[in-house]
Amino acid sequence: MVRKTFCSIKVLFITTAALVVLFVAVLVLAFIGVPRLINSQLEKQVHLEKGTTQWDRFVEIPFALDFKIWLFNVTNPEEIVTGAKPVLKEIGPFYYTFTIKKNIISTNPSDDTVTYDRDMTFTYNQELSGSLKEDEELVFLNPVMLSISQMSSLIERMALNGCLDKIFPSQYNDIFIKTKVRTMFFDGYEFAVKNDDIGVACGIIRNKIIEKTAAVRTIDRIYKNGEVYSLKFAYFHYKESKTDGVYTVFRGLDDVSLLGQVFRWNDEPQLSFWGRAMSVNNETCNRVRGTDATIFQPFINKDSVVEIYNTDICR
Ligand SMILES: *[C@@H]1O[C@H](CO)[C@@H](O)[C@H](O)[C@H]1NC(C)=O
Ligand SMILES: *[C@@H]1O[C@H](CO)[C@@H](O)[C@H](O)[C@H]1NC(C)=O
């Protein structure tokens, strides 16, 4: 009887010990082994290597992204001109979906990067926009007139005032214009159209406008017979018609924490944009950093800092 009890205790003890060892082993596996295994598998899944699902998703994001526009309709344009406070009515969202497709230019194993540019396409989403139509007519501040007058000297502005009718179509020659959302943002409207009856003075003003807007990405030049026939403005047309530069980003094969980080943009690790007005080239602000927002490094938690590089604001 005593022996049996002793034996039972021994069995119990051994079983308990075995269970403890098993338990510890499970814990070690659960907290160290499995996460390591998962992490290493995850790293293999996320880095950018041709022929993988991740690569395909990187080249073409397999779902459409949201792009929503809220606008302020100017409801009292005539009164504003005579000194009244603007009364604005917020309208939106005008709901677009957009897709991003990357054109791979090269992969560069020596520095573990891939180089590409991007094509974007915007489509109006009528269902999600509800009753708002893309051909809704709203009253806007005339962006072309404002920016041209900002770029001009006082004398040029005075000269321009005498040429408004010759340079802008009648619908667009005022400080406030009424036009469709689609026109304002994607289709665009033409101005500074070639006109043989423009006269010498207004012809000079037209040439100056063509010259000054050369680098403005919202204004396109329309050519006919090898010369500028007209200019065309739209807020977002450039997003579809031009790429937003050449990106070189890390593939994450060597160091997965760098996955997607922009290494160079247009072949440069630095911009020259920030601080230019004060003729300092601020390295901190001009450093290209972050991802292009289509890919992020793995293992992000809520304390992680996630940076993206946006070409619209050069940072
Ligand atoms: C925008 O405001 C104008 C008045 O300036 C008005 O005629 C027009 O109907 C408004 N549009 C919408 C969609 O509210
Ligand atoms: C650049 O800008 C950053 C952020 O404003 C500032 O901390 C830094 O001192 C500046 N560096 C130079 C060289 O001006």
- Evaluate if residue 189 carries a pLDDT over 90: yes
Least confident interval from 23-32, 260-269, 304-313: 23-32
Q: What whole-number distance in Å separates Cα of residue 266 and Cα of residue 199?
A: 42
Q: What whole-number distance in Å separates Cα of residue 133 and Cα of residue 94?
A: 8
Nearest alpha carbon, ligand 1 atom 6: 75
- Residue 6: DSSP 8-state: H
Q: What is the mean pLDDT of residues 243-265?
A: 94
Q: What whole-number distance in Å separates Cα of residue 110 and Cα of residue 99?
A: 30
Residues within 6 Å of ligand 2 by CB? 280, 282, 284-285
Band the pLDDT of 22: cuts 50, 70, 90.
Answer: confident
Q: What DSSP string describes 20-35?
A: HHHHHHHHHIIIIIHH
Band the pLDDT of 33: cuts 50, 70, 90.
Answer: confident
Q: Is the CB of 75 under 6 A from ligand 1?
A: yes
Q: What whole-number distance in Å separates Cα of residue 145 and Cα of residue 172?
A: 9
Least confident interval from 7-21, 219-233, 298-312: 7-21
Question: Regarding predicted confidence, which is higher, 232 or 271?
Answer: 232
Residue of 270, 274, 276, 284 to test ligand 2 pocket, by largest number of atoms within 8 Å of CB:
284
Q: Is the CB of 282 under 6 A from ligand 1?
A: no
Instruction: Give the whole-number percent of the chain exceeding pLDDT 70.
Output: 97
Q: What is the mean pLDDT of residues 164-174?
A: 91
Least confident interval from 20-24, 86-90, 92-96: 20-24
